[in-house]
Structure 1
Amino acid sequence: MNKVLIFMDKFFKTANGDLNILGKLAKIIFIFIIIKVLTKIVHVVIDKAVKRKKSNIFHRDERKINTLVTVIKNIIKYVFYFIGLVMVLDMFNINTSSILATAGIGGLAIGFGAQSLVKDIITGFFILFEDQFSVGDYVKIGEYEGIVEELGVRVTKIRAFSGELHIIPNSNIQTVTNRARGNMRALVVVTVAYEEDIEKVSRVLNEVCNEIRESNESIVEGPNLIGLSNLGEYGMDFTIVARTKPMEQWGVEREIRKKVKEAFNKENIEIPYPKRVIQER
């Protein structure tokens, strides 16, 4: 054991007992490994503590808690890495205490060119505390839209329906359209041929609306037949509108279209489509 210690002293230390370059590099690696392990342990503890609370809260509050947990994890990670950075600077005899005392943390961040980072963090906290959106919400931010996967102190991550992950700095978030707050609208336009009887079509569509209203639990209000809404190039347009729970509007629209098609097939009501007639002379 003594031989190992002597070898390490020769390999990692200078003649006067201070750490050489290899020794400092090994210590830096060790510091950040410890930080990584501590971060993982704290994250596990937070997840277990939150998991015990989730059984007694509503779904809306659960999404809010998930967002808070993500932000807290990020803050803890940044604090650990900041401590590690201070320890590394101390190894190179850089007086970090005097830097922090004279310039302050804000001045140090600006000195490192981190103005945008500070702006991202401040905007992230405003988004969180104003409850603009939470993890799991369907939002549109600028040209991007999708499900919020993560709301961090610096960036927001949105998963598009195509599978793409959009990572947006919080400072770039100007206008947010949240499509998961309150009741959503389901709208279906049904087109029938001009030869069909308007009263018959209205009766069949009202029957479909009543059937869906009684069977679909995602519907909050309706569906209701608005009536004949347009005279198009190929047929007459009838509009059906319903109010649904958040994120359920597309499923309700699909069900309405399916039921309408089945009812039209049963009642021999024609849905028009472009036709080409070829006459031989």
Structure 2
Amino acid sequence: MATSNTTAAKAPIFNADNVQDQVGDLYVASEVWLHTHWLQILIAFAIGAVIVVALHGLRKLGERLCGKPLGTGELARRGWGTIVGRAITRTNNFFIVMLAAKLVVGYAGAPSQLATTVNFLWTVASVFQAAIWARELILGAIEHRTSSEHYSGEALLSAMGLIRLLVTVALFAVALVVVLDNLGVNVTGLIAGLGVGGIAIGLAAQGIFGDLFAALAIIFDRPFRRGDKISYGTTSGVIESIGLKSTRIRAFTGELRVISNKQLLDKEIQNTSVRDHIRIGFVIGAAYETPPETLAAIPAMLKEIVEAEGGKVARSGFESFGTSSLDFALQFDIPGDDWATAHPMRDRVMVAIMTRFAAEGITIPYPTQTTFTAAPDGSLVMPYAVPTRDTASPA
């Protein structure tokens, strides 16, 4: 028993006849448009030509701002003008042509078929051109900071390849989503897929990305730079290089310490290279037998000694009643941040104090203790000989 096929065969959506008909319709519409709007078209083409010439001139100006022609492989790092100039030079011809075409179509009332095509190409050109400009500005800012702040170690410069890749992928992924959304494509699933993929990659390489972002934070926040003397925890040293994952510090004791960028930024960092002075402080004791008028003159003596050596006194005065001495506190500042200069000055000040105290008859006592012993009858036995009347010399 034969069965009939009730489903009609579907004609293909795209075939040669359809394409030919659409091209024919576009040709007829364009011909009518040219006959009816020839004056507007001429004016729009003239303005578009001016815009094309102006944008090419602007691109030439951008090359001048860069200081070097494109293709040399180097960026003349002279500031933000150079960065903006390099972004301008990345303006492509397709964007310039589509900008002029968009103006012509919009001003001259082009037919819907032509306007739709131009709008589609303009959307693609403008979105991806914006991504190119953004990429050049971001990378230029990073390179500018790296150069001007002496962060240009070999490890960090090699990291620029990875940074450039990440920035490019992120920006062009966003541009692709924007273009598809403008074309009416449902991008919800694509965005969800990109989000899940990004989370998976981030979790797999969170240590690497954490150190990478920490390196970028060091570049832009500038807590220190190569050559600075820093202290963190119990370690002090000089920054030798700042890399993609770690920072190398030459400790003052000679060894090279390597610490990850993220771990370093989690600590309290003391940058001693930016201080303008070093403060020295110590306590000097004077014997209790020192006369009160001499004690009153000691702060002025200490200040005079420090100022004679080139220091600046922050505090000089009576501190406390010690167990064996009357204690005076001295704190003074030595200009600069160089301990090689501060230590010899401190030594000269201490020697000068000893010399001045000896000249003034001021004794710096040792820690002393006196023991009193009682006789069987309860009287005290003196710890030193007491002259009697019999042993005293005759008058």
TM interval, short-chain normalised: 0.5 to 0.7
Contact 2:324/2:368, CA 8 A, preserved across alignment: no
Residue 231 of structure 2 corresponds to which residue in structure 1?
140
Q: Where do residues 42-191 of structure 1 align in structure 2 (5 Å cutoff)? A: 68-78=149-159, 110=201, 113-173=204-264, 174=266, 175-183=268-276, 184-191=278-285
Unaligned runs of 5+ in 2: 1-73, 78-144, 163-168, 174-192, 372-382, 384-395
Give secondary structure in 2 for the equivalent of 1:69: coil
Point out which structure has higher relative CO (alpha carbons under 8 A, 6+ apart). Answer: 1
Match for 1:76: what amino acid? L
Residue 253 of structure 1 corresponds to which residue in structure 2?
346
Match for 2:282: what amino acid? V
Tell me, in whole angstroms, the C-alpha distance in 2 between the residues paired with 1:198 and 1:168.
Answer: 56
Residue 241 of structure 1 corresponds to which residue in structure 2?
331
Tell me, in whole angstroms, the C-alpha distance in 1 between the residues paired with 2:358 and 2:260.
Answer: 52
Residues 75 and 158 (structure 1 numbering): CA distance in 2 closer, same or farther, change over 3 Å? Answer: closer
**2:365 matched to 1:272?**
yes
Tell me, in whole angstroms, the C-alpha distance in 2 between the residues paired with 1:272 and 1:155.
Answer: 52
Contact 1:137/1:180, CA 8 A, preserved across alignment: yes
* Residue 254 (structure 1) shift: 3.2
User: Residues 11-67 of structure 1, C-alpha deviation per residue, up to 9 Å, x if partnerless?
Assistant: xxxxxxxxxxxxxxxxxxxxxxxxxxxxxxxxxxx9xx9xxxxxxxxxxxxxx9999
* Residue 258 (structure 1) shift: 2.4
* Residue 237 (structure 1) shift: 1.5
Match for 2:154: what amino acid? K
Give secondary structure in 1 for the equivalent of 2:150: helix
Tell me, in whole angstroms, the C-alpha distance in 1 between the residues paired with 2:254 and 2:231.
Answer: 15
Unaligned runs of 5+ in 1: 1-45, 50-63, 83-96
Normalising by structure 1, report the TM-score. 0.54
Report the structure, 1 or 2, having the larger strand content: 1
Contact 1:189/1:238, CA 8 A, preserved across alignment: yes
- The percent identity for this pair of structures is 24
Q: Cα RMSD over matched residues?
A: 4.1
Tell me, in whole angstroms, the C-alpha distance in 2 between the residues paired with 1:140 and 1:229.
Answer: 30
* Residue 214 (structure 1) shift: 4.1
Tell me, in whole angstroms, the C-alpha distance in 1 between the residues paired with 2:297 and 2:148.
Answer: 48
Contact 2:225/2:239, CA 8 A, preserved across alignment: yes
Tell me, in whole angstroms, the C-alpha distance in 1 between the residues paired with 2:275 and 2:338.
Answer: 11
Q: Which residue among 227, 230, 245 is the counterpart of 2:317?
A: 227
Residues 235 and 138 (structure 1 numbering): CA distance in 2 closer, same or farther, change over 3 Å? Answer: farther
Contact 1:67/1:134, CA 8 A, preserved across alignment: no
Tell me, in whole angstroms, the C-alpha distance in 2 between the residues paired with 1:274 and 1:168.
Answer: 46
Residues 67 and 227 (structure 1 numbering): CA distance in 2 closer, same or farther, change over 3 Å? Answer: farther
* Residue 229 (structure 1) shift: 0.9
Tell me, in whole angstroms, the C-alpha distance in 2 between the residues paired with 1:192 and 1:214.
Answer: 22
**CA radius of gyration, larger in:** 2
* Residue 171 (structure 1) shift: 0.4
Tell me, in whole angstroms, the C-alpha distance in 2 between the residues paired with 1:147 and 1:130.
Answer: 19
Normalising by structure 2, report the TM-score. 0.41
Contact 2:314/2:333, CA 8 A, preserved across alignment: no
Give secondary structure in 1 for the equivalent of 2:330: strand
Contact 2:316/2:330, CA 8 A, preserved across alignment: yes
User: Residues 103-145 of structure 1, C-alpha deviation per residue, up to 9 Å, x if partnerless?
Assistant: 8xx9699489432122112112212322212334332223323
